[in-house]
Chain A
């Protein structure tokens, strides 16, 4: 298959983590592409819902944000924040959240709030939004990151949303009934978390990316011993993404050379 962009491989890679029947809580951007591409290819029984209250829209046109009128059409029901965010925690629902963040640590805790001192920050990001609630309540979380040393950090400037906290059984001790990060999908590969220690490790690396390069772009030591090569995007995945999911390339951006 020909070339593809970072966003394309990220959407496809995250989409492969979706199982048929999953209830997907989608944020904006690439997370929306991943959920939609999975639904169209291998998980037609999965359901996408949005924190704003749109539950299972038809998604005939790609929403640009969680408050786009396109999340209100062909839905099972239209509701609001209270109803939607309550669904995240329902024990009978296998809810998987898809979100992005500015910084992540080795236990999958994320920062989407600020850099520097909280009250007089060096820079400010939008804030936790509904991501903190998804990290707190969902069955699992998939996080999108640009793979850079300054983003994969030893210590977050601000902990906006709770991952595995300090590892091991810290989440349970804190008061969370379930959940935790399942995977981090970047422009270089897919990271997962050790079952016992909850520390991040490299699970898959994309074609043309050496595991060593990923370690160099990670701001903390990362286990490479379990890493496997990622199966390249298929023609069907790329075609679905480009022609059906985002034909205007609203989120995909410029095509590959």
Chain B
């Protein structure tokens, strides 16, 4: 499938979750295509998200976010587009912790009505609601952000936080390998990708390489997701650029630094989109713009997983 076809499966208003983490394995090729197709009112449900979320917010694709963290590591400790959109009220936001978010994806994947934790007791995460009351219980917005109750097993142990499950409309994930049958292999850390995929209705995977079924099934211990969970597969080399993809390439510090700088002001950000997102029909055209020299600099040493000695200033 092409990027265009895969993204055309996404509807305005869908609740979307993103694989990866801040500057690693963000589904960037898909995020850029979402911006090109000018998707609207996307409702993001993520844990710690960075580059992909930042671009989609800046391009006006996002209207609501449930998250734990919005930053692009050292390049933008708080995402500039994220901060602006939250402060101006352009997006509605509701905060959880990372563990709470992963538990919610797990609950969604397991079909649980709710899941309990003690993380966040007595914090404003449990006391302050971000979404207005009138949208509660409508669409994918949970009726209650969460509920605090006395531990029913032992009241003397204090309270517990009950969290609503997450079952996003779409999961967007970038992986290293997908078999021709759809079996997914993620290398390095999996973050919350597996739980997100299992919880979501539609799973779109981009990958560095599509490999023969017999190859990926020769070593099933290395595989991450079964083929029948996957609805669409797109081969997108360097599909996580400028974020990293373990064993294939490092994060592109230079690009992330320039992008963060251009995220600070509206007109600069429009220039970024005009330069790096809108002009390209395909991932290959985007890569031609990045240039062979930069791509070789970040190319991972396959024996190590990252680009050893890379200048990351």
Q: Which residues of A contact B (CB under 8 A)?
A: 28-29, 51-54, 61, 64-73, 78-82, 85, 109, 113-114, 118-133, 136-137, 158-162, 165, 170, 172-177, 248, 250-251
Contacts and interface: CB of A to CB of B under 8 A. Distances in A.
A131 B123 CA distance: 12
B48 to A, nearest CB: 5
A-B pairs, 6 with minimum CB distance: A175-B158, A65-B73, A129-B69, A132-B97, A67-B21, A126-B71
A162 B250 contact: no
B250 A129 contact: no
Contacts of A129: 48, 68-69, 97-98
A130 B128 contact: no
B120 A67 contact: no
Contacts of A85: 98-99, 102
Interface string B173-217: 000000000000000111111110000000000000000000000
29 contacts: A28-B74, A53-B191, A64-B312, A66-B22, A67-B22, A68-B23, A69-B250, A71-B189, A80-B195, A81-B47, A81-B191, A123-B87, A126-B48, A127-B68, A127-B70, A128-B69, A128-B97, A129-B97, A130-B99, A131-B97, A132-B123, A136-B118, A158-B124, A160-B125, A162-B122, A162-B123, A172-B158, A175-B157, A175-B158
Contact of B124 (A69, A122, A130, A160): A160
Contacts of A131: 97
A28 B189 contact: no
Task: Give the one of A53, A80, A113 with max B CB within 10 A.
Answer: A80
B98 A161 contact: no
A159 B95 CA distance: 12
Contacts of A172: 158
A65 B22 contact: yes
Contacts of A78: 188-190
Contact of A81 (B86, B98, B250, B311): B98
A250 B306 contact: no
Given A69-B188, A124-B78, A80 B71 contact: no
Nearest to B131: A119
Contacts of B87: 120-124
Contacts of B246: 69, 72
B67 interface: yes
Bin the interface of chain B by size: 35 or more
B121 interface: yes
B312 A250 contact: yes
Contacts of A68: 23-24, 73, 244, 251, 306
B119 A137 contact: yes
A138 to B, nearest CB: 11
B125 A132 contact: yes
B173 to A, nearest CB: 13
Nearest to B250: A69
Contact of A118 (B128, B193, B251, B313): B128
B122 A174 contact: yes
B14 interface: no
A119 B122 contact: no
Given A118-B130, A119-B130, 16 more contacts: A61-B308, A67-B21, A67-B73, A68-B23, A69-B24, A81-B99, A82-B192, A128-B98, A128-B120, A128-B125, A133-B97, A133-B98, A133-B100, A160-B123, A174-B121, A175-B151
Which of B83, B89, B121, B192 gathers most chain A CB within 10 Å? B121
B82 interface: yes
A67 B24 contact: yes
Contacts of B69: 126-130
Interface string B92-116: 1001111110110010000000000
B279 interface: no
B229 interface: no
Contacts of B313: 248, 250
Contacts of A72: 188-189, 246, 305
B18 to A, nearest CB: 13
A251 to B, nearest CB: 8
A132 B120 contact: yes
Nearest to A75: B189
Scoring B20, B21, B130, B159 by chain A CB atoms within 10 A of each residue's CB, the highest score goes to B21
Interface centre among A61, A118, A129 (most CB of B within 10 A): A129
Contact of A159 (B82, B124, B311): B124
B99 A133 contact: yes
